[in-house]
Amino acid sequence: MSSVELSDLIPNNVGLSADRRLQRALERWQPRFIDWWKSRGPAEHQDHDVYLRTATSVGQDGWAHFDYVKMPDYRWGIFLAEPQPDRTIGFGDRRGQPVWQEVPGELRSDLRRLIVVQGDTEPASVEQQRHLCRTAPSMYDLRNLFQINVEEARHLWAMVYLLHAYFGRDGRDEADMLLERRSGSADNPRILGAFNEPTPDWLSFFFFTYFTDRDGKFQLASLAESGFDPLARTCQFMLREEAHHMFVGAGGIGRVVQRTVDLMRRHDTADVAPHGGINVDTLQRYLNLHYSVSLDLFGAETSTNAANYFAAGMKGRFGESERHDDHRLQGSVTEVPALEGEAVISREVPALTALNATLRADYVTDCQKGLERWNRTLESVSARLELPHLGFNRAVGVFGGASITPEGRLTSQEQWEAGRSSWLPNENDREHVRSLMTPVNAPGHMAAWIAPPAAGIHQKPVEFEYVRL
């Protein structure tokens, strides 16, 4: 394990200075990255001091440093988790074999594709969120937005390192293209559909970080099982940072729910919009949108590609080592949803081809935990939030394009379109949410539509000056 070199132009623990060719290639890529950051990163506050954490180590304790930094000067580094001595592949046909420190030639194309798709999501989310800094509900939230942005950019660096270090000219070309695609572009969009959707307001941002970043958690955890050890160790460290992104989403929605409940009780009404709040039915429609779009990120229910990735040892399951089976799945079967006539049914398929559905099911279980917390807050006003049916508003897989209601009932396309405005954010919802997006820049103050957090960041008080304006 190389020591952590924090004084280098690119902080790292991969011994970059010992590989001058790789170091020079990444140092040539860095100015392009900074140009991208300045033009496609946060639209404002690039010259202001922000209280951010910066990764400085990979140990369990004291792995990050908190201090003020201007975002273009942030120390984006390359960090891999500590190696596991004598680690072996934990699944698939090669289970028990030593992990690979170099890319097996026959897996080169597939591994590169996995890394590129993951890498493409990182700058995409920064681009989606670049204008949110103009309407932050508090300085606490503004700082959290910037923390997510710089860490997503660091995750880009993590994937770019792998492409440069292990995939030669093809990898360098792919790394360049990660800075050329644009979220929402008609000509050169990001690879996955959810990362081309706009994030126009903070309510969308909180649901995005809860649902879509949670997909990132499950994808990273699957890649952290990889037999390609540099990829596995890279993703293991990324998961440590990803936890904060989901915390922002879960906490943000929880604070919106709390404020809505406070207003409902104070004014004895379910319609808190005239009082500066967000109604529960509006929250449900935003939830329906972001949850359904995030489900599509898992791909089709059955996939020969997913089966091949698993069998070859490239990508495992979430919590692979904790599963009580043979970790090969040969001959195993499982049930996946299907459509038959006008009914949603289940059908039995080989478990190896249903890995996308298995990962998605684990994700759904994890998503439900947040709803349970929010619903405990909503109990006092006899309201609830619910996850819609898996088939609702889907564009990918067996449900792609099907007209299914949030309750799971198949209907005609005409009936579905007639119900759209009651199931997904409508123009009244969006107009009201837009009207609430007024920035609050005084330390400790909050916008009227969201409750304050229970605590500040890194033992700092909520009223701390997280961004020096």
* Percentage, residues of the chain above pLDDT 90: 95
Question: Residue 88: inside a domain, yes or no?
Answer: yes
- Asked whether residue 154 is assigned to any structural domain, the reply reads yes
**pLDDT at residue 197 greater than cutoff 60:** yes
pLDDT in tens, 220-259: 999 999 999 999 999 999 999 999 999 999 999 999 999 9
Answer whether residue 62 shows pLDDT above 70: no
Look at residue 7 and tell me if it is in a domain: no
pTM of the model: 0.96
pLDDT score of 442 = 96
Q: Which pLDDT band holds residue 296 (cuts at 50, 70, 90)?
A: very high
Q: Which domain holds residue 275?
A: 16-468
Mean pLDDT of 21-27: 96
* Predicted local confidence at residue 341, as pLDDT: 85
Q: How many domains does the chain have?
A: 1
Q: What is the mean pLDDT of residues 288-308?
A: 96
Predicted confidence band of residue 3 (pLDDT cuts 50, 70, 90): confident
What's the pLDDT tens digit per position in 69-120? 999 999 999 999 999 999 999 999 999 999 999 999 999 999 999 999 999 9
pLDDT per position as a tens digit, 371-428 = 999 999 999 999 999 999 999 999 999 999 999 999 999 999 999 999 999 999 999 9
Phi, psi torsion values for 44, nearest 5 degrees: -140, 170
The encoded tokens of residue 110 equal 């597939």
Residue 340 lies inside a defined structural domain of this protein: yes
Give the contacts of 287 (CB within 8 A, at least 6 positions apart). 207, 385, 387, 388
> Has residue 1 got a pLDDT over 90?
no
The predicted-structure confidence for 268-283, as pLDDT tens digits, reads as follows 999 999 999 999 999 9
Beta bridge partners of 67: 52
> What tokens appear for 169 in the block?
């000219």
> Does any domain span residue 292?
yes
In a domain, 5, yes or no: no
In this structure, is residue 1 part of a structural domain? no
- Cα separation, 302 vs 355, whole angstroms: 7
> What CATH number has the domain bearing residue 441?
1.10.620.20
In a domain, 6, yes or no: no
Averaged pLDDT, 337-366: 95
Angle at 454 (CA atoms; ends 449, 458), nearest 5 degrees: 120
| Mean pLDDT score, 344-352 | 95
Kindly list the distances between the CA atom of residue 229 and the CA atoms of 51, 91, 296, 313, in Å, as whole numbers in the listed order.
33, 14, 28, 11
CA–CA distance, 403 with 414 (Å, rounded to integer): 9
Q: What is the CA radius of gyration of the chain?
A: 23
pLDDT of residue 2: 62
Q: Is the pLDDT of residue 59 over 80?
A: no
Average of per-residue pLDDT values in the chain: 96
Tokens representing 15 are 């011994």
Res. 342: pLDDT tops 90:
no
pLDDT at 7: 87
